[in-house]
Amino acid sequence: MKQKALFKVQAGPGAEYLETDIPKPGDNELLVEIKAAAICGTDVHIFDWTPYAQARIKPPMIFGHEFCGEVKEVGGGNGLFKSGDLIAGETHIPCGICYQCRTGNQHICEKMSILGVHCQGVFSKYAVIPQICAWKLPPGTDPGIGCIYEPFGVAGHGLFLSPTVGNTAAVFGCGPIGLFGIGILKAGGASQIFSVEPNGYRLGMAKEMGSTHLINPLETDVKSAIDGATKGMGVDIFVDFSGDPEAIKKGFSVLRKGGNAILIGLPSQPIALDLPNDIIYKEAKVLGYTGRHMFETWYKTSRLIEGGLVDVTKIITHKFQMAEYTKAFSLIRSGKCGKVILIP
């Protein structure tokens, strides 16, 4: 049996939509029919063949990791899943035996593999995934919504562990994950949400998700604007989704004394911080987060999305047939979109 899949065929920019065999599941694996797959920033790195991708990807391989699909075949296992189940996918594949895995931190496993990065991904009609990576969705879930549980959880992982009720927050970077973060802050009772983003299209989306203050750093002095709105105190929570060195520095400058800095964006270079004034004298709590806690983050993600507390449909702006992948990647580079989804 054959299928079409989006391959990173060789080193260099681009990808190819090619015919390939439908895989068979082994022990503790699931064969999944992909209903929808969202494009992540990681996938853009792979498509463009940036240094990030060059250090991690070994072509040829199918990429993509954010998906919703229906279980078609179960390769043994614990009986949790059956044919016909609708699932979303956890990206991290833990070893299960290292110190981190055995102490409740599978998402930072010492021998971590990542779906669609270190092994075959889900930009295809059918894919095989480890059962440990499957999250059962309610029957009838819109696949477009199901495939964004994973990136929603990236935003939630850090924010779920920081007090938000009545607190002020500054969000730097309003890409899809930053927009999810704004929705989570709003649902969590944040009193003021400052969105800092140079892309006007995404600032508009930030307002839709619940931001109370929109700041374009190309037009407005960020610190002056936030100091003015907080009576010089600064914000209780600074969250960086951008990975931009200047944004991170600016974020620390607007954080109040004793506040929480949540770092999720990935800088491409080292950053020099003013440690005495930005962290030490402020007694700032600096927290780095990656991925999702398996599976506490997923339970909370499900409650927020399925309970209607965060309307993620506002962030899903475009859908393409997977064969139209070049249009989808071009649109993402333009910045005039939210979450972009591919349909096999």
Domains (range + CATH), the chain: 2-148+315-343 (3.90.180.10), 155-288 (3.40.50.720)
| Active-site residue (options: 45, 157, 213, 293) | 45
> Which pair of structure tokens corresponds to residue 154?
């990236």
Residue 56 Cα to chain centre, angstroms: 18
| Tens digit of each residue's pLDDT (9 = 90 or more) over 34-58 | 999 999 999 999 999 999 999 999 9
Sheet of 213-215, strand order: 213-215, 192-196, 168-172, 235-240, 255-263, 285-288
What is the predicted pLDDT for the residue at 191? 98
Q: Per-residue pLDDT for 219 more than 90?
A: yes
pLDDT bracket for residue 76 (50, 70, 90): confident
What is the predicted pLDDT for the residue at 161? 87
- Alpha carbon distance 37, 143 (integer Å): 8
Angle between helices 176-187 and 149-159 (to 10 degrees): 60
| Tens digit of each residue's pLDDT (9 = 90 or more) over 111-166 | 999 999 999 999 999 999 999 999 999 999 999 999 999 999 999 999 998 999 99
Across the range 190-202, mean pLDDT stands at: 98
| Active-site residue (options: 42, 91, 141, 301) | 42
What is the predicted pLDDT for the residue at 58? 95
Q: Per-residue pLDDT for 1 more than 90?
A: no
Out of 144-148, 185-189, 267-271, 333-337, least confident range: 267-271
What is the predicted pLDDT for the residue at 102? 97
Tell me whether residue 45 is one of the annotated catalytic residues.
yes
Report percent pLDDT > 90 for the chain. 97
What is the predicted pLDDT for the residue at 152? 98
Q: Per-residue pLDDT for 77 more than 80?
A: no
What is the predicted pLDDT for the residue at 269? 87
> Which pair of structure tokens corresponds to residue 334?
């333009």
Across the range 218-235, mean pLDDT stands at: 98
pLDDT bracket for residue 283 (50, 70, 90): very high
What global pTM score does this model have? 0.96
Q: Per-residue pLDDT for 78 more than 80?
A: no
